Structure 1
Amino acid sequence: MKTKPIILVTNDDGIIAPGIRALIHAMNSLGDVYVVAPNKPQSGIGHAITMDAVLYCDSVKIDNGIQKEWKCSGTPVDCVKLAINQILPKKPDICVSGINHGSNSSINIMYSGTISAVIEAGIEGIPSVGFSLLDFDWNANFEHSKEYVCQIVKKILHNPTPKKIISLNVNIPKLRKEQIKGIKICRQAEAKWKESFDRRYNPKGRSYYWLVGDFVHFDKKLEDTDEWALKNGYISIVPIKFDLTDYTLLNILKSWNFILFYLVLYS
C-alpha cells in the first residue's frame, strides 16, 4: 500500500486485556492504529448492540504506544459502529479483533463478541479478521501469536480478493512456536454444546443457576475442519460471512407448494 493503512483494533475481553495489548503492539508495526474497545469484559455477548442505554466513549492512554485509544461502555459491535461513525477520520482499511483469551472455533463463533466485531466490520464493507489463542489464562503468552497475526494481516492488506471484502476467523493452538506445524484453511466444524444448568440456592433460599456443558463434535474425524486443525497442531483460518441463509434448504423450500398447503388447511 502506498500510504499507511488505518487499522481499527477491538476485542471482547476489554481494553486492558493482555490479548488486545499484544494485538495493538503487533499492529503498530503495520499501520496507523486506532483502538476502540469495551471498558470491561464482554465475552459471550455475541452481536448484541446497546439500545436501551447511553454509550460512553472516552479517550484513554493505557501504555506508551503510538496508537490512539478509546474505551467504550458498550459491546464489541457498538465499538465498531462508534469507531466508523464518530471516531476514525475515515473508514479503516482493516478491522482486527482479539487476541481473544480462549477458543472461537466451531460453534463458539455464534456467541463470540470477538467475531461479532469482525462480522460487523464486514457488514460495513471493511476487511476484517478475528484472532483467538486457545488459552483462557489472563497471563497467557501472546508473543509468538503476534508473528502469525502480522503475517495474516499483511496478506489481507496486500492481496485483495475478488469479493473485495474478506472476513476471517483465526484460531491459534496453545503450543510452543516450534510445535506449530503451519496454517490450515478450514471450514467451521459441526458441533454444539450439550448444556445443563447447575441449580443452587443462596443463604435466603432463592435459587440461582450456573450454566455448564460439554462440547459435542459431530465430525471429529474430518480433516477439513478448524477443530481437526487445532487438535493436530495447526493454526486454523475459516472465512466467514454474515449471510446465514441455508442455501440447500432454500432450494428444497422452493419446491414446496405453499398455496396447496393453504387450500388443504383452510378448505
Structure 2
Amino acid sequence: MKILLTNDDGVFAPGIRTLAMELEKNHEVIIVAPEEEHSGQSHAITIHRPLIVKDVELEGVRSKAYSVSGTPADCVRAALDKILEEKPDVVFSGINLGYNAGMDIIYSGTVSAAIEANVFSIPSVAVSSKWVNGTARFDTAARIALEICNKVKDEWLQKDTPIMVLNINVPYLDYEEIKGVKVAEIGGPVYDYYYEEEVDGQRSLVLKGRNRPENLEGTDRAYLDDGYATLTPLIYDMNNRDLIRRVGSWVEER
C-alpha cells in the first residue's frame, strides 16, 4: 500500500519514527508531519501565514520525509494537494505520546489529521500509546496497530465500506502482556484542573492536572485500564439525517 504518515508530536518525535520503520517494511511510506509539536490543536488549520515545507531525514528511517510549519490537518492537506504525486491508499497518524481515548479525541491533533484524510475519502488510522513519565511503549503500539490493520483490511478497504478512522490506543505494556484487542465505544470526558494565580495583575489559569471519573464498563478507557488495546471506528459525518428531518418538522411545517 501507499501510505501517508503524519502525527501531532512533530516530525522528529520517537513515535512517528517507530511507526515509520514498522510500516516501511512492507509498504511505500511518505512522511509529512509538523515541524513542531501541535498536541491539543484539534482540527486547526493555518490561514494567515504561509506553510514552509522542508526535506528532513529521520534516524533509522528510509522513507522520504517532510516537515511542515503547520498543524496536523495542514500536513494532510498540503501533502494531498502539493507534496504527494498520487493519492495514498491509507493515512496513518501517530504514534501519539499519550492516549486519545474517550472525549479527548475531539481535542486531538492526531485524530484530527486522520479525520482530515476521511474528508478526502481516504481511510485512516490514528495510533496512540499510554504516556508514563514522559515515555510510551511505541514498539508495542506499532506492532498492535499493524496487526489490527492486517486483520481488518480486506473488509475495511472495500469500496462499499464507509470511510472511517480506526482509532487505536495501546497500554504501556510489553507486547506479550497485552490481553487482546477490544472494539469499544469511547468513554466520557476527563475534566481538567486549572491552577489559578495572579501574574502582573492578571488572572492566570494554568492546566495542572485531571480529574478521572470512574470509567464506564465497555468503553475504551475501561478496557485500557484492564490491559487491553482498543479500537474505535470513527465516522466523520456532520449530518444527522434523522435530526435534520425532525428539526425540519419544527421549522417547515405550518
Question: 1:233 maps to what in 2?
Answer: 227
The alignment-based identity, stated in percent, is: 35
Match of 2:230, SS?
strand
Please say if 1:76 is aligned against 2:72: yes
Q: Which has the larger radius of gyration?
A: 1
Match of 1:120, SS?
helix
Match of 1:175, SS?
coil
Report the alpha carbon displacement of residue 199 of structure 1 after superposing the two structures with TM: 2.0
Report the alpha carbon displacement of residue 156 of structure 1 after superposing the two structures with TM: 5.0
Please say if 1:18 is aligned against 2:14: yes
Q: Is the 8 A contact 2:42 2:108 kept in 1?
A: yes
Question: 1:265 maps to what in 2?
Answer: none
Q: Which amino acid aligns with 2:247?
A: L
Which of 174-183 and 8-17 deviates more? 174-183
1:60-75 alignment, distance < 5 Å: 60-75=56-71
Question: 2:110 maps to what in 1?
Answer: 114
1:135-146 alignment, distance < 5 Å: 135-146=131-142
Matched residue count: 252
Report the alpha carbon displacement of residue 232 of structure 1 after superposing the two structures with TM: 1.7
Q: Which amino acid aligns with 2:167?
A: N
Question: CA offsets per residue over residues 33-58 of structure 1, 9 Å max, x none?
Answer: 10000011100000000011111011
Question: CA offsets per residue over residues 52-97 of structure 1, 9 Å max, x none?
Answer: 1111011111224210000010000000001111111100011000
Report the alpha carbon displacement of residue 247 of structure 1 after superposing the two structures with TM: 5.7
Report the alpha carbon displacement of residue 179 of structure 1 after superposing the two structures with TM: 2.3
Please say if 1:154 is aligned against 2:170: no
Which of 65-74 and 165-174 deviates more? 165-174
RMSD of aligned residue pairs (Cα, Å): 2.2
Question: 2:85 maps to what in 1?
Answer: 89
Q: 1:144 to 1:193 in 2, by over 3 A?
A: closer
Structure 2 gaps, min length 5: none
1:93-242 alignment, distance < 5 Å: 93-159=89-155, 160-161=157-158, 162-163=160-161, 165-189=163-187, 191-202=188-199, 204-212=200-208, 214-215=210-211, 217=213, 220-223=215-218, 225-242=219-236
Equivalent-residue separation in structure 2 for 1:32 and 1:257 (angstroms):
51
Q: 1:106 to 1:221 in 2, by over 3 A?
A: closer
Report the alpha carbon displacement of residue 243 of structure 1 after superposing the two structures with TM: 1.3
Q: Is the 8 A contact 1:18 1:139 kept in 2?
A: no
Report the alpha carbon displacement of residue 151 of structure 1 after superposing the two structures with TM: 1.3
Equivalent-residue separation in structure 1 for 2:47 and 2:118 (angstroms):
21
Equivalent-residue separation in structure 1 for 2:8 and 2:132 (angstroms):
13
Structure 1 gaps, min length 5: 261-267
